[in-house]
Structure 1
Amino acid sequence: MALSIQQPPQPTGESPLADSGQLQRVPAWLRFLIIALLAGLIWWLCSPLGAVRAAALATALAAALLWLTETLPLPVTALLVAPALVAGGVFTPAEAFLSFGDQVVFLVLGGYALGVAVQVNRIDLWLARRVVHLAGDGSRGLLAALMLTSAGLSMLISNTATVALLLPVVGGVLAGHVGDRNLARLLLLGVAYGASIGGIATLIGSPPNAIAAGLLQMDFLDWVLAGVPVSLLSLLLAYRILLWVFPPAVSSVSTMQLPEAEALSVEARRTLIIVFLTLLLWLFGPRLAQSLGWPQATLGAASVSMLAMLMLVLARCVDWQALERGIHWGVLLLLGGGLTLGRGLTESGAAQWLAEQLGGPAGALPFAVLLLLLVMLAVFATELISNTAVTASLAPVLMGLALQIGVDAGSLVLPVAIGTSMAFMLPVATPPNAMVHATAQVTQQDMMRVGLRLNLSVIGVITLVFLLREWWG
């Protein structure tokens, strides 16, 4: 069975509402004008707070609406944030563009370079075929293998590329089981959901992760310690819920339709060594540098990323042309714009002012209830709004709110950032969802049957994990 889809979108934190028919009927120039007028109105209404705060609030509103409606390409909106903050007096020109050179941007750049090398040398396909053949003939084992493969690849390469790679693998399996609709739903949704869930495990797995980590000044290991427990528990829940909703008609599945994995080339083996060493240094580099008496930044995540890119090129694992084509430059611009907006709201005092307005009602709630409500907002908002836009807009405010109510900023920002990657109900919510829906084997009703249950389950997981982190310090 051939599973054909349209060319997958670039993973730039797409806004699902951008494809709305009503929005498309409004010319882009008119949408831009309306948003500009709304931003001007906010600036005028907030002017008693001071010109700088008013400018930051107006810029934040304009950026969020432009991202939401995708009146402009998302990276273009990100590029407009810095000049707008300069015009409002929030930053000098030299200060405004600092975040585009933030270390987290170069960390993600290095992650993309590793991902390109993995794809160019067909390591991802080799891994997928090996895992599927090792899983045996059981449908449950095959689902687990595909979900783990999808999640594992999404920790390093984009979830869009992961699903595009695994769809032909699933198609090869389904070729021998054409009449089993539940098996098709099970495997396709398992691949899509595994990609989204795996992306939260590492700092480079999804743009919201990088934005939150940049604002909180987290390193790679800090993020892994926060993201992996949520990812593993969510994968287990997704596996159980999928089998509950769509039990396959057969317990034994033939994988004979799939070709055996080819032997890895010399370049692929070199790439695997570089990937392994890079992951080790991302996790333990600063501590290794400290033990050697070097400054920790010597083996910081950004430095390690640039060293990895150098080694990939020197070892002839990948050439510059492949890197130029494969790296998602728009995502890097989006990260820079999101970090710039966060800095602008924080340094202008606008985030603190917003937090003060929210501090009274939020402070009256038990922390567990507040956390639950914020995670619910993040998860369900991302069904319709760009996860990057949600994180970039909320994270600075949540940092101020955390200070107001006396909790660690990460206790609010991290669960919200992770929650924005957990949208499972609608095809438009994420590129993986859209790609499996486009195969015509999974309907929107199928996705909603599983997705609502999974959304509610991961809300519980995220809330519980971060409550325990807060209580145990």
Structure 2
Amino acid sequence: MIIKNLKYILPVIIPLIILLLPSDSFAIVGLTSVEQRVIAIFAMATLCWILEPIPIFATSVVIIVSELLLISDKGLWFAKTASPDLGHLISHKTIMATFASPIIMLFLGGFFLAMAATKYRLDINLARVLLKPFGTNPKYVMLGLMIITAIFSMFMSNTATTVMMLSILAPVIALLAKQDLGKVAFSLSVPIAANIGGIATPIGTPPNAIALKYLVNENSVSFGQWMVFGVPFVAVLLFIAWLLLIKLFPTSTEQINLTIKGKFLKTPKAITVYVTFILTILLWLMGDIHGMNSYVVALIPVAVFVIFKIINKDDLKRISWDVLWLVSGGIALGVALDESGLAKNAVAAIPFANFHPLLLITGASVLCLVMANFISHTAAANLLLPLVAALGASMQSLLPYGGEVVLILGVTFAASLGMSLPISTPPNALAYASGNIETKQMAKIGVILGIVGVLIAYAMLYILNKSHFIG
């Protein structure tokens, strides 16, 4: 019984032990009381995100509340007791601001676009039009499905995209013979494309948004710059994934007729959605011309859709608020690690300078890739990116290999490439639930794409950095 309840016990007991240890024992290694509390909060977050005794978004809320109580300037009175090794208390406004960070606003704008597109059937109709050129040959139909899924995942939730595309695909899979490996290939193609496609834009998946928190000042990356390397990366990896699918799971069916019924709506509200969708994307891509950053642009569709009643109060209830809270908790954890000084001290305590830069880059990516297969991609990014950012900023030896930008983006890409198991991502779980895929089949292609994807990511990022597209 005790072992069964460990997932509830460990996230409470271990942080408490850390908090109750004499502060003198931490002072010996140069850590303050505030940093000791941040370690406890970090341990709690890690255990909760891995073991999931509570929903992962709830963990983010607990992080923010714990920080407000234990390490903020308006926290519990005894937590602010003056002592020689108290350390730097963080402003409560800074911690609370993570709920309304510009990154959260960027995601909110993406949610509004996705919701309006679904409500006015823009997504289904685009799929219908874009699939026509791919004909009836099974392997080319699959390629078309993957390309369209990836494109939608750049601007919509990966999960919502997978649900939509699997519903389009279901009648076709039903026509394939029971032992036809094409069922496996088609069923895997959608979640793979959804997972990969989200990498292409800053709003495609939460780890991308988290990375933006650490890409600031001289390392800042605009929406357009992200797509300069994100889209080619997605295109290359998507093509490799397609080749693997048709090679590992060949179909015996010679022809597939994919029929999607529907037509573009021509109502004033639908036209407003179409125009706003196109305008927002163009503004994101042309930030250097008009001067607005992607966070400001993201609020334009929010205002337009609310003013014209395209998104109403009932629609607002269906927004993925849990994702926004999850991201905000990760941002708050990063703030605590950074402003308390713990991240820099942790990096300084390990002789990273003695390691070869390529070993650090590879090690950080592989660690993130492994973690992302077993826990939420967002949780993996939340835990690793603050430490990676501090490491990148402190090591001059990384500069010849692309510096901090390449390290952060490589780890971010690795977070989205963890897709070897049904539990790795919601798209994987949805596809597995179809009953057409075995875990070993998903793991086979997931492991290959994860390793190949990390290698391609660093190769492309290194080249683009040398070409001064980024950094």
TM (norm. structure 2) is 0.87
Corresponding residue for residue 83 of structure 2:
none
Shift of residue 419 of structure 1? 0.8
Corresponding residue for residue 220 of structure 1:
223
Corresponding residue for residue 273 of structure 2:
271
Equivalent runs, 1:389-468 vs 2, <5 Å: 389-406=379-396, 407=399, 408-468=403-463
Alpha-carbon separation, structure 2, partners of 1:79 and 1:286: 35
Alpha-carbon separation, structure 2, partners of 1:197 and 1:219: 20
- Residues 162/39 of structure 1: CA separation in 2 closer, same or farther (3 Å cut): farther
Check whether the contact 1:43–1:58 (CA below 8 A) recurs between aligned residues.
no
Alpha-carbon separation, structure 2, partners of 1:178 and 1:325: 42
Shift of residue 47 of structure 1? 4.2
AA aligned opposite 2:298: S
What secondary structure sits across from 2:200 in the alignment? coil
Check whether the contact 1:39–1:59 (CA below 8 A) recurs between aligned residues.
no
Equivalent runs, 1:82-101 vs 2, <5 Å: 82-86=64-68, 87-89=70-72, 90-101=89-100
AA aligned opposite 1:245: L
Check whether the contact 1:43–1:55 (CA below 8 A) recurs between aligned residues.
no
Alpha-carbon separation, structure 1, partners of 2:21 and 2:297: 43
Corresponding residue for residue 132 of structure 1:
131
Are residue 327 (structure 1) and residue 319 (structure 2) matched?
Answer: yes
Alpha-carbon separation, structure 2, partners of 1:410 and 1:340: 21
Gaps of 5+ in 2: 73-88
Corresponding residue for residue 242 of structure 1:
245
Deviations 1:176-230 (A, max 9, x none): 3233531111111111100000011111111111111122234322322342232
Corresponding residue for residue 357 of structure 1:
349
AA aligned opposite 1:63: A
Corresponding residue for residue 46 of structure 1:
26
- Residues 370/466 of structure 1: CA separation in 2 closer, same or farther (3 Å cut): farther
Deviates more, 1:194-203 or 1:130-139: 130-139
Shift of residue 37 of structure 1? 2.6
Check whether the contact 2:369–2:414 (CA below 8 A) recurs between aligned residues.
yes
Deviations 1:309-361 (A, max 9, x none): 11123344332321x13311111112211111111111111110111133x2x
What secondary structure sits across from 1:91 in the alignment? coil
Check whether the contact 2:15–2:41 (CA below 8 A) recurs between aligned residues.
no
Alpha-carbon separation, structure 2, partners of 1:351 and 1:135: 50
Corresponding residue for residue 82 of structure 2:
none
Q: Percent identity?
A: 26
Alpha-carbon separation, structure 2, partners of 1:442 and 1:225: 34
Deviations 1:400-436 (A, max 9, x none): 2112221332221111111111122111111111111
Shift of residue 268 of structure 1? 2.9
Corresponding residue for residue 141 of structure 1:
140
Shift of residue 457 of structure 1? 1.4
Deviations 1:336-388 (A, max 9, x none): 11111111111111110111133x2x333332332222222211221112211
Check whether the contact 1:56–1:345 (CA below 8 A) recurs between aligned residues.
yes
What secondary structure sits across from 2:251 in the alignment? coil
- Residues 469/285 of structure 1: CA separation in 2 closer, same or farther (3 Å cut): closer
Check whether the contact 2:16–2:40 (CA below 8 A) recurs between aligned residues.
no
- Residues 41/320 of structure 1: CA separation in 2 closer, same or farther (3 Å cut): same
Check whether the contact 1:112–1:327 (CA below 8 A) recurs between aligned residues.
yes
Shift of residue 242 of structure 1? 1.0
Check whether the contact 1:121–1:317 (CA below 8 A) recurs between aligned residues.
no
Corresponding residue for residue 343 of structure 1:
335
Check whether the contact 1:106–1:302 (CA below 8 A) recurs between aligned residues.
yes
Alpha-carbon separation, structure 1, partners of 2:369 and 2:354: 23
Corresponding residue for residue 34 of structure 1:
13
What secondary structure sits across from 2:128 in the alignment? helix
Check whether the contact 1:197–1:234 (CA below 8 A) recurs between aligned residues.
yes
Shift of residue 39 of structure 1? 4.0
Check whether the contact 1:128–1:169 (CA below 8 A) recurs between aligned residues.
no
Alpha-carbon separation, structure 2, partners of 1:113 and 1:260: 25
Corresponding residue for residue 55 of structure 2:
73
Corresponding residue for residue 14 of structure 1:
none
Shift of residue 302 of structure 1? 2.4
Shift of residue 163 of structure 1? 0.7
Corresponding residue for residue 166 of structure 1:
165
- Residues 175/339 of structure 1: CA separation in 2 closer, same or farther (3 Å cut): same
Alpha-carbon separation, structure 2, partners of 1:173 and 1:303: 42
Shift of residue 392 of structure 1? 1.3
Alpha-carbon separation, structure 1, partners of 2:223 and 2:154: 12
Decide which of 289, 294, 311 is 1:318's aligned counterpart. 311
Alpha-carbon separation, structure 1, partners of 2:273 and 2:130: 19
Alpha-carbon separation, structure 1, partners of 2:7 and 2:448: 37
Alpha-carbon separation, structure 2, partners of 1:105 and 1:46: 35
AA aligned opposite 2:413: I
RMSD of Structure 2 on Structure 1 (CA): 2.2
Corresponding residue for residue 371 of structure 1:
361
Alpha-carbon separation, structure 2, partners of 1:93 and 1:370: 34
Are residue 155 (structure 1) and residue 154 (structure 2) matched?
Answer: yes
Deviations 1:62-107 (A, max 9, x none): 2122222222222222122233233135313222212222111101
Corresponding residue for residue 15 of structure 1:
none
Shift of residue 301 of structure 1? 2.1
Alpha-carbon separation, structure 1, partners of 2:135 and 2:425: 30
- Residues 70/47 of structure 1: CA separation in 2 closer, same or farther (3 Å cut): farther
Check whether the contact 2:344–2:390 (CA below 8 A) recurs between aligned residues.
yes
AA aligned opposite 1:88: I
Are residue 383 (structure 1) and residue 365 (structure 2) matched?
Answer: no
Alpha-carbon separation, structure 1, partners of 2:22 and 2:200: 38
Alpha-carbon separation, structure 2, partners of 1:338 and 1:431: 19
Deviates more, 1:92-101 or 1:329-338: 92-101
Displaced runs of 4 or more, over 6 A = none
Alpha-carbon separation, structure 2, partners of 1:392 and 1:284: 29
Check whether the contact 1:104–1:302 (CA below 8 A) recurs between aligned residues.
yes
What secondary structure sits across from 1:131 in the alignment? helix
